[in-house]
Structure formats: C-alpha cells, structure tokens
C-alpha cells in the first residue's frame, strides 16, 4: 500500500464577531487569512494562494456552521478514495 502524505487541514467559516470569513488551520487559534465575503474567499485561486505551495484540505462551512463542501489544494493531492 502506498504511503499517504499528511494534508494540512483548514476551515473557512463565518466570524460573527468581526462579520467576515476566516481561514484557520486545524488546531490553530490565529487566522491564516481573513476575507470580507465568502465569495471573495472562493474567488479564482484565493484559497489556493492563502494555503501556499504546501496546499491542504479546506472545509468550507455555511453561515450557519454546517459543512457545505471540502476542497483539496492542489487537486493532485486529493485522496484517491474520496468521492469529490
């Protein structure tokens, strides 16, 4: 069996106190990047640029906190067994 590389895990969620969207690495208390709107965060390449060369997996949450989708950057690092 091939060895899988560890993907860094991030979450994009609404920060209700500051009324913006925050990208945070799992286990970190500080924001990696802040966006004025969710569409700014999802715009062409904004998340990929925020993650840098190492990439990672991003859980994108709805405003109510439920998971909307999960994306992997770069896409070539997406685990083979995922349905996405």
User: pLDDT tens digits, residue range 33-71?
Assistant: 999 999 999 998 899 899 888 889 999 999 999 999 999
pLDDT of residue 2: 46
Preceding amide of 74 cis, omega within 30: yes
Q: What is the mean pLDDT of the chain?
A: 87
Domain contains 83: no
Q: Please give the Cα distance from 8 to 10 (Å, whole number).
A: 7
Domain contains 79: no
Q: Please give the Cα distance from 19 to 6 (Å, whole number).
A: 32
Q: How many domains does the chain have?
A: 1
Preceding amide of 36 cis, omega within 30: no
pLDDT of residue 52: 87
Residue 21: which domain range? Answer: 9-73
Average pLDDT in the 21-39 region? 95
Domain contains 2: no
pLDDT at 83 over 90: no
Dihedral, CA of residue 76, residue 78, residue 81 and residue 84, to nearest 10: -100
């Amino acid at each position: 069996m091939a060895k899988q590389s560890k993907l860094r895990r991030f979450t994009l969620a609404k920060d209700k106190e500051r009324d913006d969207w925050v990208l945070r690495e799992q286990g970190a208390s500080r924001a990696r990047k802040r966006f004025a709107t969710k569409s700014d965060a999802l715009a062409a390449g904004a998340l990929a640029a925020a993650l840098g060369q190492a990439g990672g997996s991003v859980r994108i949450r709805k405003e109510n906190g439920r998971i909307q989708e999960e994306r992997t950057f770069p896409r070539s690092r997406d685990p083979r067994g995922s349905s996405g």
